[in-house]
Structure 1
Amino acid sequence: MKIALLGYFGFGNAGDEAILAAEIAALRAAFAAEVPAGGSPGASANQAEPTFVVISGDPDHTRRTHGVDAVSRTDVRAVLAVLRESAALVAGGGSLLQDVTSARPVAFYAGTMLAARAVGTPVFVYAQGLGPVRRPVNRALTGAALRASRYVALRDADSVALAERLGVRHVDLVPDPVLGLDLSAGRPPSLGGERPRLAVALRPWAGSEDWLPAVRSALADLAPEADVVLVPFHAGQDADLARELAADLGSGAEVVDVGAAGRAGHRAALDAVAGATAVLGMRLHALIAAAGAGRPFVALSYDPKVTAFADRVGQPVAATLPGPSGSTVDRAELRENVVAAVRKALQGPDQSYLDRLAALRADAARPATTIARSLLAH
């Protein structure tokens, strides 16, 4: 059974590659669990076993990294052929349907979802973060694509509320799929060494001349207390900043070279986070990976999705960074907040945090199970 996968895949973003890896693993496990239980009457296990084709920005990289077939998202003919041949289109996760960065994401992702429906292929929305969607035409497209989907699972309450305003019924609120990944391979045998490790996953963002000096100063204060590991979750966007911060901190800082890690590029970033004592991050999936590994984290929020996840798992947001509107932050307050929150995180996770994570992990596979049952029943 061929399943097409649609997302921000093949662009060097460790978070989105982790989403893809998590979805493939969860779907394989869900189909394997359903078929022996009689989930596909009259079908053999071989007939029901899923195969995947990813609509990707870099098909060769996707094939090498994930071991599945892929087509270029810019090859319209190939994409349409995949949609016709597939038993389903799974769209997500990630923040696909939003028009903050530009108007193009909604046109591409919603257009692909509607094209799948036009050729009779069912669409399943897998743990997406929805919005913001500001332009009226994009709101119309987003609503149409979601309403045409057989199943819609979204990853936060704000996304669910927006979907309901767009006329979507029966939305499933689920955790991000990366919470379902097994990150134990990235953990060192013991975290009880001489010095704790602090993984730092920052990204370029508006107003950096205002907030970045405060974060740099906070890291300098923390460096004598912990080994600092800079983790560029998006190799193309974050690596220069990571190297700059490492140079400021001196020989005690390390940069994870995810670009040189080849097939295991996204895994190198995940393992660096899982192997840390605590995480300071802006990148959402650095924080989700920290949670998946049971590591406490401190968020620097540049986007409501970061704040929403931190609130959901009960971890601190040291500051909400200025956006493109040009607002500012108090540098001294930001520095103090980061230092205090990270010092607390380096002491280890509290039980209430671990309890929340256990409940979320139990729900992370629900979209995959729902998709498998739906496809095997038809």
Structure 2
Amino acid sequence: MARAVARADAVVFAGGTVFKALGPGCGRPPLSLLRRALAMAAGATALGRPLAMVGVGAGALPTQTARTLARRLVHRADLLVLRDDESAAALAAAGAPTPFRIGADPAWTLFQDAPLASPDRATSPRREGVLVVLSHHAGGRRLAGRLAEALAPIVAAGVPLVLQPFQVGGAGGNGIDDLELGRAVRDRLGGAPELIVPPADLHEARDVARSFGAVVALRFHAAIAAAAAGTPFVAYAHESKLAGVARRLRQPVVDAVAPPAVLGETALAALDGAAPAAPAIKAEVARAEEGLRLLHLVLTRGREGPADDVSGLPLAPEPWTVPEAVSS
């Protein structure tokens, strides 16, 4: 990695929750992500390379050391565009200088063909079934049992239930990956749910989501895929990024510490719920594209195209202001 940075013209972090302490399910030391990111950033700036972070997020920073590393990483960036307001709040609470530019995950740019109008679910053919996109990072060893308990009412209602892993291989600290989690949930439900293969990419994930009446998203990019498919989703918010994307798309959120029955009830209700609105999806795509235009401006040092082509992004947690004592 050091050799790659030395050969590069710039270093870009594109998407991902960079500012967080890792959970036990990762099988890595809690601060390893922050330490490695900061080491790469320090190497880039020492070599005079631009460092940009576009569409990145922040999660749990539970210790003073984690917050210190996060602040140092913020200071290293020539460009920092966060994914959502939740990330801005987390970094502000860690003591990083505010405000932050708020964009969107770069993955949204894959769906520039999103429909101009929201589908009319009252007149569209009814889609049956609930797709559950799994993540072994969503809990500890009790996760399979909690999910099975939560999804049992869906099976009991006779609604088709399908489980889909996203990441297979490289089991984390709890000894399982998404596939093993799916098998454990399926076994606890008497083999009723179908377990399908992971999608090859986000376009395939969107195409799969189109076949269902609702998606239960334990993964952030599953929520993006469901939205692009015009399918209602329920965000299982074991990380703030899932709550953030659901908030912006006006979809229901179930906290990971809520009683399991809440998830099942919310998923069944989503079958008759509204899909993410097309204007909201277009806004996410536009935010992601704006972040990439800012990136282009930084990487070319303003030499290619006028800077006024970049209209800017909203600021959080508050805009820049001039203190009264200075303005007077």
Deviations 1:51-104 (A, max 9, x none): xxxxxxxxxxxxxxxxxxxxxxxxxxxx22322222211113111221142111
Match of 1:208 in 2: 143
Inter-partner Cα distance in structure 2 for 1:153 and 1:242: 34
- Structure 1 CA distance for aligned equivalents of residues 285 and 34 of structure 2: 29
- Structure 1 residues 123, 195: CA separation in 2 closer, same or farther (over 3 Å shift)? closer
Aligned-partner Cα distance in 2 for 1:241–1:319: 19
Task: Point out where structure 2 has 5 or more consecutive residues left out of the alignment.
Answer: 24-29, 115-120, 170-176, 304-328
| Match for residue 228 of structure 1 among 135, 138, 161 | 161
Q: Which runs of 5+ in 1 are unaligned?
A: 1-78, 322-328
Q: Aligned equivalents of 1:183 and 1:279: distance in 2? A: 21
Tell me the amino acid that sits aligned with residue 80 of structure 1: A
1:349 to 274, 277, 288: 274
- Within 5 Å, give how 1:143-292 maps onto structure 2: 143-164=71-92, 165-169=94-98, 171-182=100-111, 196-204=128-136, 205-206=139-140, 207-208=142-143, 211-222=146-157, 224-225=158-159, 227-236=160-169, 237-247=177-187, 253-258=193-198, 264=200, 268-292=204-228
Q: Match of 1:32?
A: none
Structure 1 pair 138–365 and aligned structure 2 pair: CA distance change class (3 A): same
SS in 2 for 1:276: coil
Provide the aligned length of Structure 1 versus Structure 2.
Answer: 278
**Could you tell me how far apart the structure 1 residues matched to 2:292 and 2:151 are?**
41
For 1:300 and 1:238, locate their aligned partners in 2 and report how far apart those are by CA, in whole Å: 15
Aligned residue number for residue 37 of structure 2: 109
1:132 aligns to 2:60 (yes or no): yes
Q: Secondary structure of the equivalent of 1:299?
A: strand
Secondary structure (helix, strand or coil) at the match of 1:158 reads helix
Answer yes or no: is the 8 Å Cα contact 1:231–1:269 preserved in 2: no
The residue type paired with residue 217 of structure 1 is A
Higher relative contact order (CA 8 A, sep 6+): 2
Between the two proteins, what is the percent identity of the paired residues? 24
Q: What's the CA shift for 1:120?
A: 0.7
CA deviation vs aligned residue, 1:138-161 (integer Å, no higher than 9, x gap): 333322222121110111213213
Q: Are the aligned partners of 1:294 and 1:349 in contact in 2 as well (CA < 8 Å)?
A: no
Q: Residues 145 and 185 of structure 2 are in contact (CA less than 8 Å); yes or no, is this contact kept in structure 1?
A: no
**Aligned pairs (5 A) from 1:318-357:** 318-321=254-257, 329-330=258-259, 334-335=260-261, 337-347=262-272, 349=274, 353-357=277-281
**Cα distance per residue 1:211-232 (max 9 Å; x no partner):** 234213123134x23x322110
- TM-score, structure 2 normalization: 0.73
User: 2:216, 2:103 → 1: CA distance?
Assistant: 24
C-alpha distance in 2, partners of 1:343/1:134? 34
SS of aligned partner of 1:235: coil
Aligned counterpart, 1:294: 230
In 2 relative to 1, CA 159–135 (structure 1 residues): closer, same or farther, beyond 3 Å?
A: same
Is the CA contact (8 Å cut-off) linking 1:128 and 1:154 kept in structure 2? yes
Q: CA RMSD in A?
A: 3.0
Partner of 1:129, secondary structure, is: strand
C-alpha distance in structure 1 between counterparts of 2:144 and 2:33, whole Å: 29
Question: Residue in 1 aligned with 2:47?
Answer: 119
Given the alignment of the two structures, is residue 306 of structure 1 paired with residue 242 of structure 2, yes or no? yes
Partner of 1:90: 12
CA distance in 2, matches of 1:168, 1:238: 37
1:289: how far off?
Answer: 1.8
Q: How many Å apart are 1:341 and its aligned residue?
A: 2.5
Question: Given the alignment, which residue of 294, 299, 314 partners 1:375?
Answer: 299
Amino acid at match of 1:178: A
| 4+ aligned runs moved over 6 Å, structure 1 | none
| Aligned partners of 2:164 and 2:195 also within 8 Å | yes
Q: 1:259-315 deviations in whole A, cap 9, x for unaligned?
A: xx7xx3565444323443320122222122212333211122222222232222211
The one-letter amino acid paired with 1:197 is G
Amino acid in the other structure paired with 2:96: G
Q: CA deviation at 1:250?
A: 6.7
In structure 1, C-alpha distance between the alignment counterparts of 2:113 and 2:268, rounded to whole Å: 24
> Given the two structures, how large is their TM-score scaled by the length of structure 1?
0.64
